[in-house]
Amino acid sequence: MTVSRSIMIVGNGPVPEGAAAVVDQADLVIRFNDCRSRGAGGEKTDVVAVCNTGRPALAMLGGGRWKADAAVRQAREIWCVRAAEKFQALRPQIEERHPELDDLCDDYTDGFRAFAKATGRAFHTVPASTHESVDAELRYFHSGEYVAPSSGLIVIAEVLAHWRRPSDRIMLAGFGHTGWEGHPFAAERRYVDALVAAGYVDRIDTLPANPSHLSFTPGGIGARGRRLSDLQGTAKPDFPVTGGDIARWTKEARTAGCGSDGK
């Protein structure tokens, strides 16, 4: 019998009041980089996903502050979200269009791998195929020109494609879809809203009055009314699906009276 898990992906954006109790109930909690989400976004940390290229990576590895952070010390795994071969292939294009980002593709994966090995943590690098599938899907959501998808979106896609079991619940907190102008945040918001509408993930932006009593049962946080899978009359297909499919399903769901939050 497959055991259902709750997987919480916590970005570094604002989280709603009461989110900590919900986050800390999850079976697996993934945070990012310096884990600014800790505190209001709970304490539990199982995976720290890092931007392993450019200045952010150098800053994390270059001093003791990141390595000594409470969330990093608690984590069982370190994930690198940028495949070295993908960013080496992107280097000529990025340096031509964005000369100020001449160090963006400098890769520090080996440094994070060495840290994980030295401290007894598991280590994973998100494959280039995940990045490429996200690029393809973002085109359906009017992404325009951008430098790279955000680490948050890459991890959402990686979890859905390679880590999710059929019965798992995937939940998001701290995803405000704002920040560095090199990420296509407006398109990312539309894409994640479409994943919510299709029933692949839930946001915890709206919590019940007593979040400590929230259960992670199939049907979801605040699930009421019809989800897109109900509209289709079948279970959700395995991920990945194409961005075109998700965009089409979202349109159908809205036509049938389901909002972008899947309600």
Read off the pLDDT of residues 126-177 as tens digits, 9 standing for 90 and up: 999 999 999 999 999 987 899 999 999 999 999 999 999 889 999 999 999 9
Per-residue model confidence (pLDDT) at position 239? 56
The two tokens of residue 49 are 């996903």
Q: What is the mean pLDDT of residues 210-237?
A: 36
Per-residue model confidence (pLDDT) at position 100? 93
Per-residue model confidence (pLDDT) at position 83? 96
Cα 121 from chain centre: 20
- Considering the entire predicted model, what is its pTM? 0.82
User: Is residue 31 scored above 50 in pLDDT?
Assistant: yes
CATH architecture of 6-255: Alpha-Beta Complex (3.90)
pLDDT in tens, 1-14: 567 899 999 999 99
Q: What is the mean pLDDT of residues 166-190?
A: 93
pLDDT bracket for residue 245 (50, 70, 90): low
Sheet strand arrangement including 28-32 = 122-125, 77-80, 47-50, 28-32, 6-10, 169-173, 202-203
Per-residue model confidence (pLDDT) at position 205? 74
Exposed/middle/buried for residue 144 (C-beta within 10 Å: 0-12, 13-18, 19+) = exposed
- How many whole angstroms separate alpha carbon 134 and alpha carbon 195? 13
β-strands 47-50, 28-32 pairing: parallel
Per-residue model confidence (pLDDT) at position 223? 31
- How many whole angstroms separate alpha carbon 52 and alpha carbon 112? 8
Q: What is the mean pLDDT of residues 229-237?
A: 36
23 or 259, which is more confident? 23
User: Is residue 258 scored above 90 in pLDDT?
Assistant: no
Buried b (16+ CB within 10 A) or exposed e, 231-258: beeeeeeebbbebeebbebbeebeeeeb
pLDDT bracket for residue 82 (50, 70, 90): very high
List the domain boundaries for the chain.
Answer: 6-255
- How many whole angstroms separate alpha carbon 111 and alpha carbon 95? 24
DSSP SS3 for 91: helix
